[in-house]
């Protein structure tokens, strides 16, 4: 998955109505899973000029996912009157940007995550509360979950490319009826395994890691309940450092 930035430049004499239309349009845009970020800026030197920047999970997700969705129809209904004011609308690839290591890199890459999931499922199998859920687990399961975590934490998109992506992952949890106690145990065993294999223990990394694990396990519980409706095809989520960037003296 290659994140892509779309720039749309407008020249609009009546900025007030245009901005009001965009305030409404960004509601469905912001809800679209393909849209990672957006920003509308007005030119200080030439106030008729605006630039809209949208970061998409990929050009394909934008053109095939978003454009075909109900969110796009809602978005477009608001901004349709301004289509003729567009001076440029193109996709750009980032060439240089301020970067920080991904959580994947900070964790130690694919190898570290594989060590983590091996140790983790070793503990899971022995556990009285969550063990039975994994009684028929494929022996490659730890490797698949490591692939998933790698992709979520900013590594290569291997789970999407080799394992069927988001919907495939969710499908494994459907109907499992995971309880809150089981979720808590799962989290606690994962944290124990993180210590066992020596994942970085700095507060910033562990806070980001725990943040994803809390979020992800709660979703797993949600989708495992009877009658839960699986989500449509969505990109694998990407998790970053959040509020606290890595501490680099």
Q: Binding residues for ligand HEM, per CB under 6 A?
A: 130, 133-134, 136-138, 141, 144-145, 148, 163, 169, 172-173, 176, 178, 182-183, 186, 213, 216-217, 220
- Token digits for 44? 């200080």
Nearest distance in Å: CB 193, ligand HEM: 13
Q: Provide φ and ψ at 89, rounded to 5°.
A: -150, 100
Nearest approach, Cβ of residue 30 and ligand HEM (Å): 24
Q: Which is nearer to ligand HEM, 86 or 129 (CB)?
A: 129
C-beta nearest to ligand HEM: residue: 216
The partner residues of 91 in beta bridges, in order of sequence, read 6
Shorter beta-carbon distance to ligand HEM: residue 28 or 142? 142
* Residue 179 vs residues 88, 155, 166, 226: alpha-carbon distances, Å: 51, 30, 22, 12
* Closer Cβ to ligand HEM, 75 or 144, answer by number: 144
Q: Report, in Å, the least distance between residue 212 CB and ligand HEM.
A: 7
Give the number of other Cβ atoms within 10 Å of residue 207's Cβ. Answer: 13
Contacts of 176 (CB under 8 A, 6+ apart): 133, 224
**How far apart (Å, rounded) are the C-alpha atoms in residues 38 and 53?**
5
Q: Which is nearer to ligand HEM, 62 or 183 (CB)?
A: 183
User: What is d(CA 217, CA 187) in angstroms, rounded to the nearest whole number?
Assistant: 8
Cα angle value 217/222/227 (rounded, 5°) = 150
CB of 137 to ligand HEM, least distance (A): 4
In the complex, minimum distance from the CB of residue 155 to ligand HEM, in angstroms, rounded to a whole number: 14
Q: Which is nearer to ligand HEM, 75 or 104 (CB)?
A: 104
Given the complex with ligand HEM, which of 34 and 182 has the nearer CB atom?
A: 182
From the CB of 106, what's the least distance to ligand HEM, in Å? Answer: 18
CA 176 to chain centre: 23
Instruction: Tell me the closest approach of the beta carbon of residue 15 to ligand HEM, in angstroms.
Output: 44
Q: Which is nearer to ligand HEM, 81 or 132 (CB)?
A: 132
**129 neighbors 149 (Cβ within 8 angstroms):** no
Q: What is the SS3 assignment for 32?
A: coil
Residue with tokens 């730890």: 142
């Amino acid at each position: 998955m290659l994140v892509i930035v779309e720039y749309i430049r407008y020249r609009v004499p009546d900025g007030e109505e245009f901005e009001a239309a965009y305030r409404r349009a960004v509601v469905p845009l912001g809800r679209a899973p393909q849209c990672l970020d957006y920003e509308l800026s007005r030119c200080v030197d030439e106030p008729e000029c605006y630039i809209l920047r949208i970061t998409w999970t990929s050009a394909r997700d934008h053109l095939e996912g978003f454009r075909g969705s109900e969110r796009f129809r809602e978005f477009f209904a608001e901004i349709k009157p301004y289509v003729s004011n567009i001076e440029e609308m193109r996709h750009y690839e980032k060439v240089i940007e301020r970067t920080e290591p991904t959580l994947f890199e900070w964790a130690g890459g694919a190898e570290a995550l594989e060590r983590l999931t091996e140790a983790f499922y070793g503990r899971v199998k022995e556990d009285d509360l969550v063990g039975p859920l994994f009684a028929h687990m494929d022996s490659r399961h730890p490797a698949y979950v490591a692939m998933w975590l790698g992709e979520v934490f900013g590594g290569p998109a291997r789970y999407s490319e080799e394992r069927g992506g988001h919907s495939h992952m969710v499908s494994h949890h459907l109907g499992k009826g995971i309880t809150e106690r089981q979720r808590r145990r799962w989290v606690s065993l994962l944290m124990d395994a993180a210590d066992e294999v020596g994942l970085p223990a700095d507060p910033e990394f562990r806070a980001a890691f725990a943040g994803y694990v809390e979020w992800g396990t709660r979703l797993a519980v949600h989708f495992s309940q009877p009658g839960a409706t699986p989500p449509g095809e969505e990109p694998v989520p990407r998790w970053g450092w959040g509020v606290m960037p890595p501490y680099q003296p």
